[in-house]
Structure 1
Amino acid sequence: MSINGVFRTSVSGMNAQANRLSVVSENIANASTNGYKRSTTEFSSLVLAQGDGEYNSGAVRTQVRQMISQQGSISASSSASDLAIQGNGFFVVADASGRDYYTRAGGFVQRSEAGTGKTFLVNAAGYRLTGTSVETGKIGPIELPVGKLIPPSATTMADFSLQFPTSVTAIDTLTETPASNNTAGDVFTKKTSLVVYNQVGQERVLDVYLTKIQDAPPAANSSWDIAVYDRAQSTDGGFPYTATAPETLVQLATTVDFDFATGLPVAPLGNMPLTLADGKVVDVSFSSMTEYVTEFGARLSTDGNPAGTISEFSFSSDGMLSGIMSNGTRIPLYELSLARFTSPDQLVASAGNVYSATADSGDVELGTAGRNGFGGLLSSALEQSNVDLASELTSMIESQRSYSANSKVFQTGAEILDVLVNLKR
């Protein structure tokens, strides 16, 4: 064994431990960085060829491994634009030039771009959150319509999801008339309403009357009468509803029969057209109709919105960014797409707590939050660093001890070399 091998081996050991200390130092420094993923140091030996009767010491080298796929804990925040992913996936962000990066750090804030007046959602490093525009279908940085007038959108569809209680007794059809007759004195079992908008953003309230007209038993099936009218066309707030030209009478009337054994409609209602006062037609869908032994329930939804400005923004669990107007109307703006990789630990880290794809990480796959294996999106929450300070401090002590031991080997080799040099004296 050459004495030079002692120096070579001990120096490689000190370098390896110095690399490990550098990784530990970075992990500790970023222990409070949201979405930061810790790194670990892996050691591997380098073995030299051995001669007869002589041992040649090898060396050691290190490789840094990122723990990107390891989930950090989730903490609550007070900002609706703070986002966290519970499970698999990354946010897709872009720099000023439009290049895509990927991150788990979801602390986004509104930032106005100087000169253009555009407002984007950006993280602490200035990367812009991207999404698919509901209006154009294009993918790009999310531009918030802050302070801009939102044009009105006419209602074109309505969805009725109704639960009818079995405990209600039907009206006496021999002496009483249901709401679909549209005559003075009509009776009804339940009443609810929904709001629709015309092409200039005018709000009209539709009254929805639900009347049980047949009990089961004694009949084979129970029956409910459904009637829809425009409240503005009522007579002193009630029946009959009448229209004054040029408006047309708003009226939709249908009957649904429920199977006594299943609580489901005997035959689906399908979609029905409803003509509004200005002649525009709304497609009404009866998506869910049940009659169970429980309370009455109605979930009525429509599209369309009035003109106005957006006062705040919110994210849903599936990644839909909506603007909330002062009257409570929600307008879908962007849909976030999460990214995932076959080997996320092979991504390359860049400044700003973002990552870039590599050949080893695999191709990027985009998808919707909460579907097909992608993690769910949490609003007003942040993913914390996955650094464990106790483990890092333990690793630091181990590295310090190992570095000292390797330095002692180097020192001993230097002393032996001094002995060789002094043999001539």
Structure 2
Amino acid sequence: MTISSSLNAGVMGLNANAARLSTISDNIANSNTFGYKRVETDFHSLVTSSNGSTYSAGGVRVSTQRMIDQSGSLIGSNNSTDLAVRGNGFLPVTTKPEVTVDNGDLSMMLTTTGSFRTDAEGFLKTETGLVLLGVPANPDGSIPAFARDSVANLEPIQVNLSAISSEPTTEIKLGINLPATVTEQAVIDPSTDYERQKIEYYNNLGSTQDITIEFRPSPAVAGVASNEWTLVMTDSATIPSSTVIGEYTVTFNDTQTAGGSLASVTTVTGGAYDPGTGMVEVTTASGPIRISIGELDTTNGLSQFGNSFRPTNISKNGSGTGTMILIEVDENGYVYGRYDTGTSRTLYQIPLVAVSNRNGLEAQDYQTYQVTKESGTYYLWDAADGPTGEIVGYSREQSSTDVAKELTDLIQTQRAYTSNAKVIQTVDEMLQETTNIKR
């Protein structure tokens, strides 16, 4: 009879609102949990067959869903490896026990934020034991090609903050002015007219060596300035150190519009001059080094003005021996080791994992998720590329819970629960009246 269906509907209403109360309490309890995704409760009516004269209450059914596609706001921190994803995508992580076992088949979990710090073994992990995964860089800092639909090339990120490293010099830029008056002389005295410049560079082991460049002016011809110099380069690490590694003849313009600029470069020994870049390449004991002497018709490298030899700007890349002092992650997911020499080195790249249906992921402990059939297959994207967002360092993602809304829902749930309880009480009283008819 319809009165019993009313009782069933009231009981189902109590159960449904109790389930909603559970999700609300969970959301409020985790309102300060970094990376927490709120759970949403939906009610669905159940309809039974009825005709115009009778009606049976069907009741209500409840369903819950974790809103993984909803992101919380980002908050700054003072830890460089506090990471959060701004936009779509997940950080790949695994558990420390799996790393310790090292069975070659790591299971990947996903998270949108984490406070990662190096442990005693150098692994970047959270306090809950989640270890960050990435693709290790080649020795030159480049990232190798890796499978985008598999975790086969992902490794636990492990760094040594006390690591010592150096970076050999591969490029030197010269900014030197040569005296124009010397090339006006008919006689050149090597002891007074030759100019020398030592340039320090870092070798492959982090120690320093010198490239010495001797600038030899050519004498004037028939009273006309030659505007010509020969550059002779030697390397202190080459045996013998007097071995010439590069020799170039350069001439300078003396026109009204381009006076003092580089006019031509002729290679005698060493790598050919590249007019497009203004570079020559010489081979030292540590390998090839590119030296910028300037582009033609410019004075941004070598120039010839006045009567004085003047180095104006000499710079080089590379660094001596340094100790890693900091790990940082940029928006593209590249993990850099910063050294006390001011240099940096690429160590890993963290890809961002994208799935078709984020809300189809299976929620695990510690704000992590696993791929399921409902979520669809995953793909490893470069951060800030394709459909994924970017990785933000020095940041954590806050909970997506809106406490004000949850409190409002709490009041509504309480009233709905009370109303359903009142229905049951009323049905009970009506049944009691029905029972009393027999008396």
* TM-score grouping bracket, smaller chain normalisation: 0.7 to 0.9
Q: How far, CA to CA, are the matches of 2:251 and 2:16 in structure 1?
A: 77
The answer (yes or no) to whether the contact 2:172–2:289 under 8 Å persists in 1 is: no
Distance 1:414 1:330, change over 3 A: same
| Identity %, equivalent residues | 29
Name the residue aligned to 2:240: 245
Name the residue aligned to 1:131: 134
Summarize deviations over 1:121-158 as a string: whole Å, max 9, x none: 112321100111114854211112244555x6655x54
Name the residue aligned to 2:8: 8
| Letter paired with 1:400 | Q
Structure 1 residue 328 displacement after superposition? 2.8
2:114 match: secondary structure: coil
Q: How far, CA to CA, are the matches of 1:256 and 1:268 in structure 2?
A: 17
Q: How far, CA to CA, are the matches of 1:252 and 1:344 in structure 2?
A: 63
Structure 1 residue 71 displacement after superposition? 2.4
Distance 1:25 1:321, change over 3 A: same
The answer (yes or no) to whether the contact 1:348–1:356 under 8 Å persists in 2 is: yes
Structure 1 residue 60 displacement after superposition? 1.2
Name the residue aligned to 1:274: 282
Structure 1 residue 26 displacement after superposition? 0.9
Name the residue aligned to 2:94: 94
Q: How far, CA to CA, are the matches of 2:251 and 2:387 in structure 1?
A: 39
Structure 1 residue 65 displacement after superposition? 2.2
Name the residue aligned to 1:144: 159
| Letter paired with 2:38 | R
Write out aligned runs for 1:325-340 (5 A). Answer: 325-340=339-354
2:113 match: secondary structure: coil
Distance 1:420 1:23, change over 3 A: same
1:102 match: secondary structure: strand
Counterpart pick for 1:105 among 91, 105, 113: 113
Write out aligned runs for 1:7-156 (5 A). Answer: 7-51=7-51, 53-95=53-95, 96-97=97-98, 98-112=106-120, 118-135=121-138, 138-148=153-163, 154=168
Name the residue aligned to 1:423: 437
Counterpart pick for 2:406 among 392, 395, 398: 392
Structure 1 residue 184 displacement after superposition? 6.9
- RMSD value, Cα: 4.3
The answer (yes or no) to whether the contact 2:6–2:56 under 8 Å persists in 1 is: no
The answer (yes or no) to whether the contact 2:322–2:341 under 8 Å persists in 1 is: no
Structure 1 residue 349 displacement after superposition? 0.7
Q: How far, CA to CA, are the matches of 1:256 and 1:373 in structure 2?
A: 54
Distance 1:339 1:207, change over 3 A: farther
Q: How far, CA to CA, are the matches of 1:289 and 1:365 in structure 2?
A: 49
Q: Which consecutive residues of structure 2, in runs of 5 or more, have no partner in the other structure?
A: 99-105, 145-152, 185-189, 214-228, 253-257, 259-273, 299-311
Q: How far, CA to CA, are the matches of 1:311 and 1:120 in structure 2?
A: 15
Name the residue aligned to 2:270: none
Summarize deviations over 1:85-141 as a string: whole Å, max 9, x none: 2222111001122311000122112222xxxxx221112321100111114854211
Q: Which consecutive residues of structure 1, in runs of 5 or more, have no partner in the other structure?
A: 113-117, 165-169, 209-224, 234-241, 261-265
Structure 1 residue 314 displacement after superposition? 1.9
Q: How far, CA to CA, are the matches of 2:131 and 2:34 in structure 1?
A: 16
Structure 1 residue 375 displacement after superposition? 1.6
Structure 1 residue 329 displacement after superposition? 3.0
The answer (yes or no) to whether the contact 1:256–1:269 under 8 Å persists in 2 is: no
Summarize deviations over 1:50-82 as a string: whole Å, max 9, x none: 246221111211221222222221111111111
Distance 1:173 1:28, change over 3 A: same
Summarize deviations over 1:164-208 as a string: whole Å, max 9, x none: 9xxxxx98857669xxxx997689xxx9x885332x332347799
Deviating more after overlay: 367-376 vs 6-15: 367-376
Structure 1 residue 45 displacement after superposition? 1.2
Counterpart pick for 1:203 among 208, 215, 220: 208
Name the residue aligned to 2:262: none
The answer (yes or no) to whether the contact 1:47–1:58 under 8 Å persists in 2 is: yes
Question: Could you tell me the TM-score, scaled by structure 2's length?
Answer: 0.70
Summarize deviations over 1:16-64 as a string: whole Å, max 9, x none: 1111111111111111111111121111111112246221111211221
Distance 1:130 1:60, change over 3 A: same
Q: How far, CA to CA, are the matches of 1:135 and 1:28 in structure 2?
A: 46
Question: Could you tell me the TM-score, scaled by structure 1's length?
Answer: 0.72
1:324 match: secondary structure: strand
Write out aligned runs for 1:153-164 (5 A). Answer: 154=168, 157-158=170-171
2:88 match: secondary structure: coil
The answer (yes or no) to whether the contact 1:124–1:352 under 8 Å persists in 2 is: no
Name the residue aligned to 1:379: 393
The answer (yes or no) to whether the contact 1:36–1:105 under 8 Å persists in 2 is: no
Q: What is the aligned residue count?
A: 367
| Letter paired with 1:410 | I
